[in-house]
Structure 1
Amino acid sequence: MLESALISEFSRFYMSNISDHAIDLFSKIVRLKKYKTGDVLINKGTSKFYVIVEGIVASFSKNSQKDREYIRTIHLENYAFTDLFYQINDLKLAHIDLDTKTPEDYYKCLTSCTLLEGDFKDFIDLSASNHEISLLYNKINQTILLQVLKRLDRLSLLDATDRYKILKERIPQIENLIPQYQIASYLNITPVQLSRIRKKMYSE
């Protein structure tokens, strides 16, 4: 019962008028799973997709030469994600000019997480056979694209202090949830710079 309610909440978050029948079809291709802090969810080649029910998940890029990982994005409840490189290869999109060799990209739980998990190919097949699921899929993609564009705009147009303020508005207790070095990585600054920003903000 709880799982059905969570699937319904997610579906109607993106598409308020989706029918119970379509939600029932979607529920047949996902299952509820729990993960621990630090668990890696997606590496290149996986066909799975996930929906965040509870917790914080981040997408990472790793520089193998320097053995350093960088947080690209931080995601919360109702965010859906999969391996984009899998889509390129499996959906015959190889003509797209993307470097699929570097860097290493993956998703990782920054906190303990509860997720809906399914096979992305099942989602695509269901989208092809059901109009409402196709609309749901498109609305999810539109939302993800807008979030990516917003993230790029903030990195390009805002300084680190403003980006930190936005993160705090979005996740007020972020310092109590994840380490400072991960917050700094997301802001594209060093932990020392983050410490200076926090000291200045809280002294004003």
Structure 2
Amino acid sequence: AAQTDAWDGVRALRADYRTATGERREVVLGDGTVLSLNTGSAVNVRFDASRRLVELLAGEILVISGHGAGSGVPLEVATREGRVRALGTRFAVRQQDEYSTVDVFESAVEIRPRDGSGAPLLLAAGRGAAFCRHASGAPHAVGAYADAWSRGQLIVDDVTLGDFLAELARYRPGVIDCAPAVARLRLSGVFPLADTQRILNMLPNSLPVQVRSRTRYWVSVEPAS
């Protein structure tokens, strides 16, 4: 597994399109397909007469499928765990450590696990699912703000501080440490991802916490003194 991770890391550095931590990028492909790359993401694009393939090497992408030249060929996104086929749609795919996730916002997709033997999972708009190499998980409702990152926002509704900080940590280099004593506090709000330090600085205004910067890359959120 370590060798696979290292190889994936090398491929991500050489990818056709990639983003650094905290960076987002939008790419328009030859057929009109729009790819939005989230923080720390990398993709290769393989389009020819017989395929429209986007290979997600790391991170997360939002796909709006195009209908220009070559769009008669199915559009697919490949991850380590399998393939997601677009059925004229808008959807997001994320490469996690041990599995992949898909959220569908318009139309539908088919999920085909790499080593699965059954029929592909048809996932309709408003539904999401995780899948590993062997099978797809049960579909679930997509969160109302699942694609807010593509607009530069992190929107949460009654989530734990621990989960919030874990998500925020994707958008800044270094470590955000959350003390267990405050991890279960809950918060809601709309946060601009362009300034993660400002988000951290705002936390004591709404929660009984203090934010300590041990170094530029190590921040700790602790109970207010």
- TM more than 0.5: no
Higher relative contact order (CA 8 A, sep 6+): 1
State TM-score, norm by structure 1.
0.31
Higher strand share: 2
